Amino acid sequence: MDEKVYLTALNKCFFGSWNIAHRLLQHFGSAKAVFSAGYRELAGLLPGMDATLIHLTTGELTDGAFNELEYCRREGLQAISINDDGYPSRLAQTPEAPLVLFSRGSRRLDGARFLSIVGTRHCTPMSGKYCDMVAEYLSSLKVKPVIVSGMAYGIDTFAHRSALRYGLDTIAVTATGLDSVYPASNRNLAPRIEERGAIVTEFWQQTPPYPFNFVSRNRIVAGLSDGTLVVESRLRGGSLITARAAFNYNREVFAFPGRIEDECFAGCNELIAADIAHLARGAEDICRELEWASEGRGGGNGRWKSVPPEKMAVLQVLRRGGEMDAAQIAASCSRSVSQVSYLLLEMEIEGLVKHISANKYVNL
């Protein structure tokens, strides 16, 4: 068995106590050496952890890890260990980084700019508009950020949909294995995320959505990103856990404020009052703090002044509708499909739009 099998087993063994797994790795030099160590030596390092010692000194856990990696190979999933070049660098810097991530999708888990957008499951309709507002602004930057969220109900779903609508890549961190989609209402959303990003988890197949899994998932959402935005949250909720994790990782945290009497934003107001989160009035505040605005926006300079009206009309349709094919664009701007197809070809060469799968386009 190679080192990745042992890392997969070690992460499973110390679920919820990843810092111990990291200390053992540092002590022994490799995950394989941890599982090769004797019972007495491990007992001296892990006092009172009898059940864990049994897992480390029998082959059951490593056999399961081997089977899990074989499952990933058969299903075309990526298993990325903390030793691999493809492991996200921001997450690797955190003390609770998972030793192995499983991923399905088209995008690497690293890049120039990552922003997590989180919030309550039971959100108000206004939060969807806030997510759209942020995504629209970010889509106009020359270097487009990747949106990270948890694919749960409410804000998470809004965040992923807004990213896709405005042509941004997006990564969903789930609380189950990759053999299922939770919640089931996002089964149609999941393939779109895979097409423009990735779905990521540390959980093995057939893992149910246990409550603690979401707490575990939240640290990964925070660790993947340069900053975390809380769109809407009450005084209790998983998004506050994500925000505090990001703060503890020395990442920037932002929150949209609400009225003092508005319980829907009480958590956001508390984060701001406690100096955990910056008060965000819009995406401009986030970009300024993260120093993303210094390179300029793709939609505000001379580049756009030279775009002919017929092409600008196509861009406006794509900005509103997200991923669209030539027929959909033609129907929205009162032109023939052949005219739009020709314009799209020219615009792709000019770097104004991007051709993605299924003959669909997004603005750049």
Question: Does residue 171 have a pLDDT over 60?
Answer: yes
The band of 299, judged by pLDDT with boundaries at 50, 70 and 90, is: very low
Whether residue 336 is predicted with pLDDT greater than 80 in this model: the reply is yes
Residue 304 in this model has a pLDDT that exceeds 80: no
Q: Say which range, 77-81, 109-113, 307-311, has the weakest mean pLDDT.
A: 307-311
Question: With contact defined as beta carbons under 8 Å apart, do 246 and 238 qualify?
Answer: no
pLDDT of residue 300: 44
Please give the Cα distance from 224 to 5 (Å, whole number): 23
pLDDT over threshold 50, residue 165: yes
Grade residue 200 by pLDDT with cuts at 50, 70 and 90.
Answer: very high
Q: Which CATH architecture has domain 307-363?
A: Orthogonal Bundle (1.10)
Band the pLDDT of 131: cuts 50, 70, 90.
very high
Contact 258, 281 (CB under 8 A): no
pLDDT reading at 194 higher than 50: yes
Band of residue 2 on the pLDDT scale cut at 50, 70, 90: very high
* Lowest-confidence pick of 25-39, 45-59, 167-181: 45-59
Q: How far apart are CA 316 and CA 329, in angstroms?
A: 10
User: What's the average model confidence in pLDDT over 308-314?
Assistant: 82
**Tokens, residue 177:** 């294995």
Residues 319-325, mean pLDDT to the nearest whole number: 78
Omega before 183 cis (within 30°)? Answer: yes
Q: Give residue limits of the domains in the chain.
A: 3-76, 114-289, 307-363
Instruction: Give DSSP secondary structure letters for 53-99.
Output: HHHHHSSHHHHHHHHHHHHHHHHT-EEEETTSTTS-HHHHTSTT--S
Determine what percent of the chain is predicted with pLDDT higher than 90.
62
Q: pTM for the complete prediction?
A: 0.80
Task: Say whether pLDDT at 263 is over 70.
Answer: yes
Q: Right CATH number for 114-289 from 3.40.50.450, 3.90.550.10, 3.90.950.20, 2.60.40.1250? A: 3.40.50.450
Measure the CA–CA gap between 55 and 159, rounded to whole angstroms: 39
Q: Say whether pLDDT at 97 is over 50.
A: yes
Using the predicted structure, report yes or no on whether residue 151 has a pLDDT greater than 90. yes
Q: What is the pLDDT of residue 358?
A: 63
